[in-house]
Amino acid sequence: MARFDRKYWRRCTLPMGGDANAAVEFALGAPFLLGIVVILLELSMMLTTRLTLEGALRRAVTVGTVSGLEDAERSTRVRAAFDAELGALVAAEDVVFEQMIYDDLGSVGMAEPFVDSNGSGERDPGEAFTDLNGNDRWDDDRGRPGAGGAEDIVRYRVRYPWRPMVSLVEALLPNGYLQIDLSQTVRNEP
């Protein structure tokens, strides 16, 4: 009768060696680590995009506030200065760049006044309103398009839907993108 070899039995039944364990652990952990790396890369892309847009907005404001320009020329120069600062990361066709003139600082971003006849808390069709910007319709922002003249108050606003490159990250975001919304209000020089 064959003698029972305890050492041989243990060699056959014990788990695999250290290398095999490490391989299994790596196989299980790799997707998680890869996911973290991808998210960090996307985050850095988003921050770089935001910084680029902030720089372009700053440049536009610098160009926009100088004295001695009429509205149309000022507006054209501002837009050109802004566009020139957009790098390759920004899809220029997706950028919404807005220039709005206001009568005073308290009016910035405010809706045109209206009579809330039905008490709904919002302006409904048919309710009377004051057309402050003279475009013959009610607006939820009373500003007039343009970069204004001397001492005018102007708000520059940039909106941009930043989209990740990796579809997995895109799926994590509401609507598949992250809205970057920047604005700066200035008074033009005399």
Determine if 98 is a binding residue for Ca ion (CB under 5 A): no
Q: Give 148 or 164: the residue with its C-beta nearer to Ca ion.
A: 148
Q: Give 91 or 115: the residue with its C-beta nearer to Ca ion.
A: 115
Site for Ca ion (CB under 5 A): how many residues? 8
Least spacing, CB of residue 146 vs Ca ion, in Å: 14
Determine if 133 is a binding residue for Ca ion (CB under 5 A): yes
Contacting residue, 48, 62, 135, 179, with Ca ion by CB under 5 A: 135
Long-range interactions of 13-21: CB distance < 8 A, separation 24+: none
Q: Name the residue number minimizing CB distance to Ca ion.
A: 120
Least spacing, CB of residue 181 vs Ca ion, in Å: 22
- Subset of residues 107 to 126 that bind Ca ion, contact rule: CB under 5 A: 116, 118, 120, 124
Residues 6+ apart with CB under 8 A from 146: 71, 72, 74, 75, 99, 100, 101, 154
Determine if 141 is a binding residue for Ca ion (CB under 5 A): no
Least spacing, CB of residue 148 vs Ca ion, in Å: 17
- Strand order of the β-sheet with 96-102 is 144-145, 96-102, 153-162, 178-187
Lookup: tokens for 104: 């005073």
| Helices and strands in the chain, H and E counts | 4, 4
Lookup: tokens for 134: 């003279």
Strands (E) in the chain, as ranges, are: 96-102, 144-145, 153-162, 178-187
Q: Give 54 or 103: the residue with its C-beta nearer to Ca ion.
A: 103
Q: Which residues bind Ca ion (CB under 5 A)?
A: 116, 118, 120, 124, 131, 133, 135, 139
